[in-house]
Structure 1
């Protein structure tokens, strides 16, 4: 499983997105599925930078159930209830508050492991 340690910096979102996009294109994923995965990793890394602590560790791999993306930092991660209740913000002009909603809408499965890492599963339609 490739692993990348990223600094808590906005540039890390692009680094993570580019790395995952290249990985999936090299393995024959369709542009649509790559876009879905890249947006998912972008939201997960962004969430980690915004709400977590310490370095951001990104791991991803293709496994039997699909693409597994794991984003870990030193924070607790969102609660399971927060994931289940993810919704758009009340104010349509709010500048933030859409990340978990987008992530749960794009991914087939989103979970938080005991160590607080956010794990995303995406199945390819190819």
Structure 2
């Protein structure tokens, strides 16, 4: 039987379920930082982080949202979700980006130099960190395994 004009014969698509649960998706500015940190704490705990793992993850997220406000145009966007075995947080801003030199610094910042601690802490306190940066802004994604020690 001929196909109607303007249609193509296509194989059926296979839809793969992605097992993620969005916990927070929210824009923020300086006025929301404290409230957002409390929300991240509650949601990450409900998703399975606890004790020092929870404290470390929340501190890492706090550094990222503080950086977004301080260096990324005064506001940002946070998404927090739960995947099987881990909690993931992504913070995006609309700043000028992070220089390659700053981004490449992996060592602990010098104690007598102000600044430079946010990304370092986020990297140290999470299991994984990815940074996408450029003149239109920066997005940092961190994750922590649930149930890991």
Q: What secondary structure, in the 3-state scheme, does the structure 2 residue paired with 1:88 have?
A: coil
Question: Which one has a larger percent helix, Structure 1 or Structure 2?
Answer: 1
For structure 2, the residue ranges without an aligned partner over 5 or more in a row are 1-21
> Aligned runs of 1:105-116 on 2, under 5 Å?
105-113=124-132, 116=138
Q: Distance in 2 between matches of 1:65 and 1:78?
A: 30
Q: What secondary structure, in the 3-state scheme, does the structure 2 residue paired with 1:3 have?
A: strand
* Residue matched to 1:117: 139
Aligned-residue Cα RMSD (Å) equals 2.3
Aligned residues: 123
Identify if the C-alpha distance between structure 1 residues 65 and 111 changes in structure 2 by more than 3 Å, giving closer, same or farther: farther
Structure 1 length-normalised TM: 0.80
* 1:99 and 2:118 correspond: yes
Residues 78-87 or 38-47, more deviating: 78-87
Identify if the C-alpha distance between structure 1 residues 22 and 61 changes in structure 2 by more than 3 Å, giving closer, same or farther: same
Identify if the C-alpha distance between structure 1 residues 68 and 97 changes in structure 2 by more than 3 Å, giving closer, same or farther: same
Q: Distance in 2 between matches of 1:19 and 1:3?
A: 11
Structure 2 length-normalised TM: 0.69
Residues 43-52 or 80-89, more deviating: 80-89
Question: Which one has a larger percent strand, Structure 1 or Structure 2?
Answer: 2
The structure with the largest alpha-carbon Rg is 2
* Residue matched to 1:63: 83
